């Protein structure tokens, strides 16, 4: 130990001073990470020196006193709050901060304001993604873009670096984040003004000069003595309104009636139609269901059109009630807006205020005329050709019908469709009318080849002589009549008794072929022929005539046939 230090330690005055100094520091109770009071002892160009009643004075950079021009307001002897970070660093210095003291104080006040929902002043100092930076006593807070005003702002330069009133909406103590809202303050103030203004009006009041502030497709915003009100499009008129802007313009003054005041939301609803008499009250006395009247088309939709019957009253003509010939016709193809038309009232629903109308009921019904033409020949114009049918319009009646490919000819060949195209004219017969659907037939204009069976007295079980019309892989087609309009297909299994004779290729066109009628249904037009059955029947007949023993004794069917022929020939001699 140094001699001087040893002597100082033995000096009774030094011991007393040291004891008093230790006691003084002990009574000061300095706690780190807390705000303490300090006295300004000196102000230099770079630092503000303060006395914190510690072992030594603290030094704070003058930059921490720039907020709110605080440096010009303090002087030697001024009392200020500072944040004590450390009582003694490794250098033996006290670490303090004026800026952190200000932020901590602001944070504590923020927490109290958040709990009490109090307003405080902030400065919007910058813009970030999704919002703004609002500084509260040097404490940066986040303000979302939606919270800067009661309505979206395109320009906000006038709010930058100016004092604004805000409310804390969210505080995260762990992260030290604060969200604030200017909109909540404005709405609170606005709601207070609205609540005061609402006291001066009541439901049922008639306002003579309500100012139109804005229009939308669904309503009009009004200013009633400084109070915002909504006039919904459905309250403009008892009739249909296409756009409110068609009736009023911004700046117009209109007469309205207050129909609703919501005390919870402070919303006011107004009405124009409430000032007039409801035309639906006496509607049934003016208009009768089933009667025909005249009106004006006001609107065309995909599903129908609206017709103005009188001021404030409209009815709907469904697309199915526009035209007799096409239930799915587009209204724009039949009618146009502002066109005056006749209509028939189908129904009136007073509760729902709906009136159903029919336009086609005022026109001649072509279905009544076409029913009288059932079974008659008509001329059609082909409107479409599909893979199985032809669709055409009856020229005189403008009604559509269908001609199936089987009704083109009695051969029922689907290839016949290729012979027709859209726009062709064709004579057909109406063979069926059912559920507003018409069926045509072209072949019905000709004689039915099936009449051959009746004219020749042929029935099931009879054997007829046919001519080979066409040879197929699966059989042959044969023609029954001379005109070759009656063609029937015979399967190869029905061609002959012996499998070796059932080959279609052994036949040639125009070969004569006897066949037995084994099925004949004139209604379904089903005919089945079998040469095999004819051979079997003939064989049975010969065996019955010459005896069953003929085949057992070694005779063949050919021999029996020859014997039968020879026998017949002998008789002729």
What are the boundaries of each domain within the chain? 25-116, 117-188, 200-275, 283-362, 366-445, 451-551
> What's the CATH fold of domain 25-116?
OB fold (Dihydrolipoamide Acetyltransferase, E2P) (2.40.50)
Q: What contacts 372, CB < 8 A, 6 or more positions away? A: none
Q: What is the mean pLDDT of residues 492-519?
A: 89
Q: Which regions of 286-399 does DSSP assign to beta strands (E)?
A: 292-301, 304-310, 313-318, 340-349, 354-358, 377-385, 389-394
Class of domain 366-445: mainly beta
> What pLDDT does residue 8 have?
54
Tokens, residue 102: 């200000």
> Is the pTM value of this prediction over 0.75?
no
Do the two domains 117-188 and 366-445 of this chain adopt the same fold? Answer: yes
Query: 430 falls in which pLDDT band (50, 70, 90)?
Result: very high
> What pLDDT does residue 553 have?
44
Q: How far is residue 279's CA from residue 339's CA, in Å, rounded to a whole number?
A: 23
SS3 (DSSP) at 50:
strand
Backbone angles phi, psi at 568, to 5 degrees: -65, -35
Max Cα distance, the chain (Å)? 186
Percent of the chain with pLDDT over 90: 24
> What pLDDT does residue 525 have?
84
Question: pLDDT tens across 458-487, in order?
Answer: 899 999 999 999 999 999 999 988 888 888
Question: pLDDT tens across 196-245, in order?
Answer: 777 778 888 888 888 998 888 889 999 887 788 898 988 888 777 778 88
Tokens, residue 462: 């009879």
Residue 222 to residues 80, 254, 270, 284, 321, Cα–Cα distance (Å): 54, 9, 9, 35, 41
Q: How far is residue 77's CA from residue 39's CA, in Å, rounded to a whole number?
A: 6
> What pLDDT does residue 569 have?
44
- Tokens 């199985």 label which residue? 388
Question: pLDDT tens across 92-142, in order?
Answer: 678 888 888 887 877 788 788 788 888 888 889 888 998 999 888 778 889
SS3 (DSSP) at 53:
coil
Mean pLDDT over the full length of the chain: 83
Q: What is the mean pLDDT of residues 535-547?
A: 81
Tokens, residue 510: 């125009």
> What pLDDT does residue 318 have?
94
pLDDT at residue 3 greater than cutoff 90: no
Question: pLDDT tens across 261-272, in order?
Answer: 887 777 889 998
For residue 268, the cross-strand partners are 261
> What's the CATH fold of domain 117-188?
OB fold (Dihydrolipoamide Acetyltransferase, E2P) (2.40.50)
Burial of 163 (0-12, 13-18, 19+ CB in 10 A): exposed
> What pLDDT does residue 573 have?
34
> What pLDDT does residue 278 have?
80
Tokens, residue 173: 């103590």
Nearest to 533 by CA among 480, 491, 477: 491
pLDDT at residue 555 greater than cutoff 70: no
**DSSP code of residue 108:** H
SS3 (DSSP) at 458:
coil
Question: pLDDT tens across 8-58, in order?
Answer: 556 666 666 566 655 555 555 677 777 888 888 888 888 888 888 777 788
Q: What is the dihedral of CA 168, 173, 174, 177, to 10 degrees?
A: 30
- Tokens 């029954």 label which residue? 480
Question: pLDDT tens across 270-298, in order?
Answer: 998 888 888 787 787 888 999 999 999 99
Lowest-pLDDT range of 157-161, 424-428, 471-475: 157-161
pLDDT at residue 4 greater than cutoff 80: no
**Alpha helices in 358-465, H assignment, sequence order:** 366-371, 451-455
Does domain 283-362 fall under CATH 2.40.50.140? My reply is: yes
> What's the CATH fold of domain 451-551?
OB fold (Dihydrolipoamide Acetyltransferase, E2P) (2.40.50)
Question: pLDDT tens across 44-61, in order?
Answer: 888 888 888 777 788 888
Q: Which regions of 365-452 does DSSP assign to beta strands (E)?
A: 377-385, 389-394, 400-404, 425-434, 437-441
> What pLDDT does residue 382 have?
93
Q: Can you give the C-alpha Rg of the chain in angstroms?
A: 54
Lowest-pLDDT range of 190-199, 222-231, 414-423, 521-530: 190-199
Does domain 200-275 fall under CATH 2.40.50.140? My reply is: yes
> What pLDDT does residue 571 have?
41
Cβ atoms of residues 34 and 82 within 8 Å: no
């Amino acid at each position: 130990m140094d001699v001087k230090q040893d002597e100082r330690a033995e000096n009774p005055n030094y011991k007393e001073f040291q004891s008093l100094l230790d006691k003084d520091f002990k009574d000061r109770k300095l706690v780190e990470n807390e705000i303490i009071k300090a006295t300004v002892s000196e102000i230099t160009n770079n630092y503000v020196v303060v006395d914190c009643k510690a072992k030594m004075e603290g030094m704070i950079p003058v930059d921490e006193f720039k907020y709110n021009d605080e440096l010009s307001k303090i002087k030697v002897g001024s009392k200020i709050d500072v944040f004590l970070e450390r009582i003694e660093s490794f250098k033996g210095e006290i670490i303090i901060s004026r800026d952190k003291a200000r932020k901590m104080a602001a944070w504590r006040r923020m927490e109290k304001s958040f709990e009490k929902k109090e307003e405080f002043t902030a400065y919007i100092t910058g813009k970030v993604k999704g919002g703004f930076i609002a500084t509260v006593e040097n404490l940066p807070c986040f303000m979302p873009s939606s919270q800067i005003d009661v309505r979206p702002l395109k320009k906000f330069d006038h709010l930058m670096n100016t004092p604004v009133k805000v409310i804390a909406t969210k505080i995260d103590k762990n992260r030290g984040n604060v969200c604030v809202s200017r909109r909540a303050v404005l709405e609170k103030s606005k709601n207070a003004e609205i609540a005061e203004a609402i006291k001066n009006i009541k439901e049922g009041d008639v306002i003579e000069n309500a100012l139109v502030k804005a229009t939308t497709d669904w309503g009009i915003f009004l200013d009633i003595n400084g109070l915002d009100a909504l006039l919904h499009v459905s309250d403009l008129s008892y009739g249909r309104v296409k756009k409110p802007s068609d009736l009023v313009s911004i700046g117009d003054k209109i007469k309205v009636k207050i129909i609703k005041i919501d005390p919870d939301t402070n919303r006011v609803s107004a009405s124009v139609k409430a000032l007039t008499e409801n035309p639906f009250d006496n509607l049934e006395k003016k208009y009768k269901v089933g009667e025909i009247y005249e009106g004006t088309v006001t609107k065309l939709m995909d599903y129908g059109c609206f017709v103005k019957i009188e001021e404030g009253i409209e009815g709907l003509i469904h697309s199915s009630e526009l035209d007799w010939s096409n239930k799915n016709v587009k209204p724009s193809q039949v009618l146009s807006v502002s066109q005056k038309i006749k209509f028939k009232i189908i129904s009136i629903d007073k509760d729902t205020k709906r009136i159903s109308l029919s336009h086609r009921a005022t026109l001649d019904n072509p279905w009544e005329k076409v029913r009288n033409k059932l079974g008659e020949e008509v001329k059609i114009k082909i409107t479409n050709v599909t893979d199985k049918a032809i669709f055409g319009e009856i020229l005189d009646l403008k009604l559509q019908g269908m001609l199936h490919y089987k009704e083109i000819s009695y051969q029922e060949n689907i290839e016949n469709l290729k012979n027709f195209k859209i726009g062709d004219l064709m004579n057909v017969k109406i063979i069926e009318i059912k559920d507003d659907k018409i069926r045509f037939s072209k072949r019905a204009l000709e004689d039915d080849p099936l009449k051959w069976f009746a004219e020749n007295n042929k029935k099931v079980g009879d054997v007829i002589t046919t001519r080979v019309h066409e040879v197929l892989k699966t059989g042959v087609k044969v023609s029954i009549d001379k005109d070759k309009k009656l063609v029937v297909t015979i399967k190869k299994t029905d061609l002959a008794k012996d499998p070796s004779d059932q080959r279609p290729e052994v036949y040639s066109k125009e070969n004569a072929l006897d066949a037995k009628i084994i099925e004949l249904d004139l209604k379904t037009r089903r005919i089945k022929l079998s040469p095999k059955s004819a051979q079997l029947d003939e064989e049975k007949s010969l065996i019955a005539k010459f005896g069953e023993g003929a085949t057992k004794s070694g005779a063949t069917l050919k021999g029996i046939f020859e014997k039968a022929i020879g026998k017949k020939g002998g008789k002729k001699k």
